[in-house]
Structure 1
Amino acid sequence: MSGTFVDLGFVTAPSGVVVLGMVSWLDAWRELGEPLSVRAGAAAKAGGGHLREAEWECEAVAVPAAADRPLAVRATTEPSAFDEEPTVATLEVELGLPWPEGVDSPVLLGDLPVDRGGMAVGDAVGLDAWTGLEDEPADGLADLSYWGRYAEDAHARFGGERIPQPGGVEGPYGWLDLPVAEALALEAEISAWRGRRSGRGVATSVEPHVDYFTFRRAGVHHPLRVGAIEVGGCPVLGIDWCQGDHSVRHHGGRDWGQAFPVTLEADAAGGTVLRWTIPPYDAEED
């Protein structure tokens, strides 16, 4: 494991509250009662805490933070249990606040599983605006991709370019930044074409530009799959997870004991940081 922190970027917290949460559920908080910002604000007033919808898989941690400055986010890495590529081992967020006097040890806030959809760090109020799979894209655009056994035949018929994928691997054919209606119409045309021959073997996907997808696209060239986007007028960092690594290491989440401690700790300069620590993978223990 590399103990050296690498910089991932910056977030801001104009509300005075930073949230580290599971991406798959960020848009669900507002459907299940009070908005995320209300729950996070209450936790921050108590010094920080873990948030969870008991009957759902929504989880997050919220902490107080300085509202008047950028907050650095960084990470240490370790080799993935899947392909030995770097993956996050420790995630750390500067909070811009001094470490309280008289507190001599880290403060445990709870623990978080690794979400298959990724994790997000950002302002609590800003994240209230997060758009998920059922939402409309603010820019009215979408990406269309297709792949499969007869993708080359489809490419000869319809065109398209290779869509970048994490790790520089060859991606599917498709188009970026199409108007949603155009993307859906073209997908229907490809589907109708493939349906005229049994076993044509071409799959399609339309991904509207909601936040759930755009943070992944923003991080496609980052070695840790970190993407910076704006949500609710605030810069947010999303951390995608390699699906292979997630399946080997994190599949099952909390139900299988795969939840990892989140703490408040003092940094070398006497400031306070939020730290999420994922211990090294132990194949025998697994």
Structure 2
Amino acid sequence: MPETFVDLGSVTAPSGVLVLGMALWIDYWPELGRPLSERARTVAAPGGGHFQEQECEAVAVPAADDRPLRVRACTSPSPFDEEPTIAALEVSLHLPWPETADPSVPVRLGDLPVDRCGMVIGDASGLDVWTGMDGEPADGLADVFYWGRYADDAHAQFGGERIAQYGVEGPHGWLDLPLAEAAARAAELTAWRDREYGRGLLVSIDKHTDDHRFRQAGWQHPLHVGAIEVGGCQVLGIEWDQGDHSIRHHGERGAGQVYPVTLHADRDGGTVLRWTIPPYDVDDDE
């Protein structure tokens, strides 16, 4: 049966180098000695490849620098809840297939695990300024959420909107608060909980880092895909359902849960980056 692809959006790569990497580690590359963009340029120069240091992993390839690059995916049912989950991810690089390469034979670049914190597709230089979960937001804002056994009581006392996430009613909370106000509201909720109940209410502050922004951008997307701007470039982030990740991808590279990344020739003689995640097979657990 032929694969059916859905459009996920597009990314831009003005540096001419595109990266597919693990979201949790994007901002950690400089801690290992060299920025992500330097490593990616080196790997992409001969045609692309995989690079890794400690837990940080990514694939880099050359890409057109003057136009958006379309990203699409085909899906398979999740073994967790039977909802669609990504089985193959493709990016049109808008570069010609090399004349010396056989268009019927894919070029293997390496493999990648599915990061439990999501995957990022974007320009190598733009991702140098990516802010991870422990970073500080450029806009100085944060979101506050609360949920749990006594959430209705807290709502009666403090208010806050129901924030829909991933097609279901999400937690109560407030979006786009200045950091100081967000911290004050979270502290007030926590103090009230401790005074009245001791437990039964969870409170979180999510700063507007790039890590949080791509998740928020994907709250209404069936495949948890969100587009944001990072370093002047359009970037796509893909968050995996945690139940699906636990069943299919748990352990990641350490457990051998890695999936091939290849280059393919399309029908028009162009080059496509493809990451293939085989559909789940119940026999894999036997």
Q: Give me the whole-angstrom Cα distance separating, in 1, the residues matched to 2:93 and 2:222.
A: 24
TM norm structure 2? 0.97
Report deviation, 1:241. Answer: 0.6
CA RMSD of aligned residues (A): 1.1
1:164-186 CA deviation, whole Å, 9 max, x = no partner?
Answer: 111x2111110011111100111
Separation in structure 1 between the aligned mates of residue 56 and residue 20 of structure 2, nearest angstrom: 12
Q: Distance in 2 between matches of 1:280 and 1:26?
A: 27
* Cα distance change of structure 1 residues 139 and 2 upon mapping to structure 2, 3 Å threshold: farther
TM-superposition CA deviations, 1:153-203 (whole Å, max 9, x none): 11111000111111x211111001111110011100111111113444111
Q: Aligned pair count?
A: 283
Q: The residue matched to 2:129 in structure 1 has which SS?
A: coil
Residue 253 (structure 2) pairs with residue 251 (structure 1): no
Corresponding position: 1:66 with 2:67: no
Q: What is the letter of the counterpart of residue 62 of structure 2?
A: P
CA contact (8 A) 1:2 1:78 kept: no
Structure 1 length normalisation: TM-score? 0.97
Question: Which residue number corresponds to residue 221 of structure 1?
Answer: 220
- Write out per-residue CA displacement over residues 105-156 of structure 1, whole angstroms, 9 at most, x where no aligned residue: 1110000000011001010000111101221101111010001111111111
The aligned counterpart of 1:189 is: 188
- Is the CA contact (8 Å cut-off) linking 1:147 and 1:204 kept in structure 2? yes
Alpha-carbon distance change, 84 to 98 in structure 1, aligned in 2, over 3 angstroms? same
Q: Which residue of 1 aligns with 2:38?
A: 38
Residue of 47, 55, 60 corresponding to 1:57:
55
Instruction: Quote the residue 1:205 is aligned against.
Output: 204
1:134–1:103 Cα change, 3 Å: same
Other-structure match for 1:18: 18
Residues 29-64 of structure 1 deviation map (CA, whole Å, 9 limit, x = unaligned) = 0111100000000001121010111xx311100000
**Structure 2 portions without partners, runs of 5+:** none
Give the C-alpha shift of residue 69 in structure 1.
Answer: 1.1
Structure 1's unaligned 5+ residue stretches are none
Tell whether 2:276 aligns with 1:277: yes
Pair 1:232-2:231 in alignment:
yes
- Identity of matched residues, %: 70
Q: Which residue of 2 aligns with 1:145?
A: 145
Superposed displacement of residue 256, structure 1: 1.1
Q: Which amino acid aligns with 2:35?
A: P
Are the counterparts in 2 of residues 74 and 93 from structure 1 also a CA contact under 8 Å?
A: yes
C-alpha deviation, 1:2, in angstroms: 7.3
